[in-house]
Amino acid sequence: MTIKTTNLGFPRLGRKREWKKAIENYWNQAITKAELDETLLNLQRENLLLQKNHHLDSVPVGDFSLYDHILDTSLLFNIIPERFQGREVDDDLLFDIARGNKEHVASALIKWFNTNYHYIVPEWDNVTPKLGRHIILERFNYAKSLNINAHPVIVGPITFVKLSKGGDQSLEEKVRTLLPLYIEAFEALIQAGAELIQVDEPVLVTDDGEDLEAITREAYEAFAGAEVAQKLIIQTYFERANVKFLSSLPVKGFGLDFVHDRGENLKQIKNGDFDASKTLFAGIIDGRNVWAADVQAKKALIETLATYTDDLYINPSSSLLHVPVSLDDETLDETVRDGLSFATEKLEELDALKRAINEGNHEKLDTLQAQYERFQNQDFKNLTYDFDSVRASRESKFETRKVLQQERLNLPDLPTTTIGSFPQSPEVRKKRADWKNNRISNEEYETFLKAEIGRWIEIQEDIGLDVFVHGEFERNDMVEFFGEKLQGFLVTKFGWVQSYGSRAVKPPIIYGDVKWTAPLTVKETVYAQSLTDKPVKGMLTGPVTILNWSFERVDLPREEVQNQIALAINEEVLALEEAGIKVIQVDEPALREGLPLRKAYHEDYLRKAVHSFKLATSSVADHTQIHTHMCYSQFGQIIHAIHELDADVISIETSRSHGDLIKDFEDINYDLGIGLGVYDIHSPRIPTEDEITIAIQRGLQQIDRSLFWVNPDCGLKTRKEAEVKDALNVLVNSAKKLRQHTTTPTA
Ligand code: ZN
């Protein structure tokens, strides 16, 4: 048997984020367009050659982009937002659509399925679809000029239209409009020499997949009619596909994810659903996580798959867009490095598998296997936990807690607070960077932090807020901060992945069992509390969010890792309580976005998420007030889970879409404390007293007054100091005017 290797997409960012830097420099007019083009072409070449040097039989092109490949596809078909029409279709137009310009707002960004990548939503209002700028062809030709056997990657018509918005036509009509244009685009690629074209149709693995089958069949039959379908590989990823359905389409083959499918794709193949005459792109190496593969197990899987098809490619389970570029720039302990694999190392794994299978050369495979096994047996992965020893529900019911908390906190009617962070001014960021790079001493840094905390305590006193925060000046990121301090987490230097546009995130890697070893936030919080008689809220990130925004382990059930984190956060909650902190907020902004792609798995996810949050927060005394925060307003089907968290107070974003929220709350009698964000912190605009008053009054129609809190809708770290002061003054004044009785003297 012989197999081939391929890839579905490579990270754009560059090893040291050269891509991001070049693009931002161009935006800031620090470099010319020619300089930008040169840097990006070098980067493309580097990516292509790196893949070629790992002996891929076919290297993807068209995955590279200046911003987002969905936006590239929009430009390819001239699907240009109405407000940007009439301009030349070039990179500047692309950037303007993505970022907005002085005259027009940007197009919306939406999460790419269940990843942390965000794409630009195509807008169909009054568009004139036609074949526009064919950037994929340009890139294909470029690869050809480097003597690289490449295959173009293009988002398929069903996925492209499904992710679009606007226009009067139905989904089917839009797809039909695009079909001749897709055919034209395919023909141009085939004429240029493309032997395979990877057509990404991840939407087929979602709950909508089944409803889309009729139009999918129609589309791919049209491609067969035009005699282009024999070059097409329909690519799916992130979940199981309908193998029987895909087998019935008149294309060369298709791609399946064998890592994130819960075993369902292989099951269908074994069941006889796979048409053996098709080419299979088998996603066997995890394309969205950072772990070294168990290559022996992968080899066995390949051997099984090879009995079902004559034309087998092995590849990562998805584009490598979702993992960092290379381990080479990290300084890592061998014991940890053994277990990791970024994009470049994944190509090595594929190559080692191919050599072992095609040539019987096991050398590299054996080395990788030995590393893998060494890593799995490390002590740091084999601690024991007693999850049952920690409370997972509060001692008393909310009604009881509420009275005890109020006796202790003595809060006024309509209490006011903020979400946690205050401005990360250039000075704050500079001091933190100076300290991290050993340019200033611990002492100097701590003195600075204390001064900043002190200043903001005074500001909060002046404004007259009721529950204070310390301001989070010591944190760069609400997950990385905890990752740096908890045992079991690794924070890398260059482990960046693209989130949207030029923005990248550096998720911590949970490589071992998680343990709390020392207080994480107590010093700053207690210092802040020492400066005021008002309660200062402790500020933590919750287990669900920490897990969702990290690279998670896969050698343990997800639930267990989440609960390990929950126990660690629980220790910190208790440490804060012990130190006299009366209010503790545990943020869970990522709870909703962690929902699995398919609804069938939602309930299980939510049940486990709720349990972890409760493990983290239920051990405190009844008189300690637990807050949580989430920054979205459409709770829909998760509202019951939110209620089950049993947090004494939740603060949520509402200012941008009141209507939806009120609707969600009609379905449930929400009887815990709740702060509906009364103004939008994402805008620099200062709200008026009237606006805030209306927002409060509207909320009071839905929610019992005794449960109601007044707060902004998210943290204030991106705002300027003057904006924060002005807005919070308006907020506090509005609340005070609406107060029916005052239990604390007003300033
Ligand atoms: Zn938020």
pLDDT in tens, 618-643: 999 999 999 999 987 677 789 999 99
Q: How many angstroms is it from 584 CA to the middle of ligand 1? A: 16
Q: How many angstroms is it from 710 CA to the middle of ligand 1? A: 15
- Segment 523-581, tens digit of pLDDT: 999 999 999 999 999 999 999 999 999 999 999 999 999 999 999 999 999 999 999 99
State residue 742's pLDDT score.
55
- 682 as an active site residue: the answer is yes
- Could you tell me the CA-to-CA distances from 317 to 65, 77, 351, 377, 594 in Å, in that order? 20, 28, 15, 26, 19
Q: How many angstroms is it from 681 CA to the middle of ligand 1? A: 9
The Cα–Cα gap between 491 and 508 comes to 5
Percent of all residues in the chain with a pLDDT value above 70, rounded to a whole number: 98
pTM of the model: 0.95
Q: How many angstroms is it from 630 CA to the middle of ligand 1? A: 5
Q: Quote the DSSP letter at residue 528.
A: H
How would you classify residue 348: left for phi > 0, otherwise alpha for psi between -120 and 50, otherwise beta?
A: alpha
- Segment 180-213, tens digit of pLDDT: 999 999 999 999 999 999 999 999 999 999 999 9
- The answer to whether 608 is annotated as binding is no
- The answer to whether 107 is annotated as binding is no
> Residue 662: pLDDT band by 50, 70, 90 thresholds?
low
Amino acid at 618: S
- Count Cβ neighbours within 10 Å for each residue of 188-219 and write b for 16 or more, e otherwise: bbbeeebebbbbbbbbbbbeebeebbebbeeb
State residue 745's pLDDT score.
47
- The answer to whether 454 is annotated as binding is no
Q: How many angstroms is it from 696 CA to the middle of ligand 1? A: 19
Burial group, residue 660, by CB count within 10 angstroms (0-12, 13-18, 19+): middle
Q: Is the pLDDT of residue 746 over 50?
A: no
More confident residue, 507 or 653: 507
> Residue 741: pLDDT band by 50, 70, 90 thresholds?
low
- The answer to whether 419 is annotated as binding is yes
Residue 312 bridge partners (DSSP): 280
- The answer to whether 714 is annotated as binding is yes
Q: Is the pLDDT of residue 107 over 90?
A: yes
Q: How many angstroms is it from 588 CA to the middle of ligand 1? A: 9
- The answer to whether 578 is annotated as binding is no
> Residue 134: pLDDT band by 50, 70, 90 thresholds?
very high
Q: How many angstroms is it from 714 CA to the middle of ligand 1? A: 4
The number of residues in the chain equals 747
Q: Is the pLDDT of residue 114 over 90?
A: yes
Contact status, residue 496 vs residue 446, Cβ threshold 8 Å: no
> Residue 328: pLDDT band by 50, 70, 90 thresholds?
very high
- Could you tell me the CA-to-CA distances from 255 to 233, 311, 592 in Å, in that order? 7, 12, 28
Ligand 1 ion: nearby residues, β-carbon < 5 Å = 589, 631, 714
Instruction: Provide the token pair at 307.
Output: 């009995």
- The answer to whether 577 is annotated as binding is no
- The answer to whether 653 is annotated as binding is yes
- Segment 377-402, tens digit of pLDDT: 999 999 999 999 999 999 999 999 99
State residue 438's pLDDT score.
96
Q: How many angstroms is it from 678 CA to the middle of ligand 1? A: 13
- The answer to whether 20 is annotated as binding is yes
- Could you tell me the CA-to-CA distances from 647 to 256, 417, 469, 584, 657 in Å, in that order? 41, 16, 18, 10, 23
The Cα–Cα gap between 642 and 638 comes to 6
- Could you tell me the CA-to-CA distances from 455 to 451, 460, 471, 533, 580 in Å, in that order? 6, 9, 10, 15, 21
Annotated active-site residue in 55, 611, 682, 741 = 682
Q: Is the pLDDT of residue 658 over 60?
A: no
Q: Is the pLDDT of residue 660 over 70?
A: no
Q: How many angstroms is it from 587 CA to the middle of ligand 1? A: 8
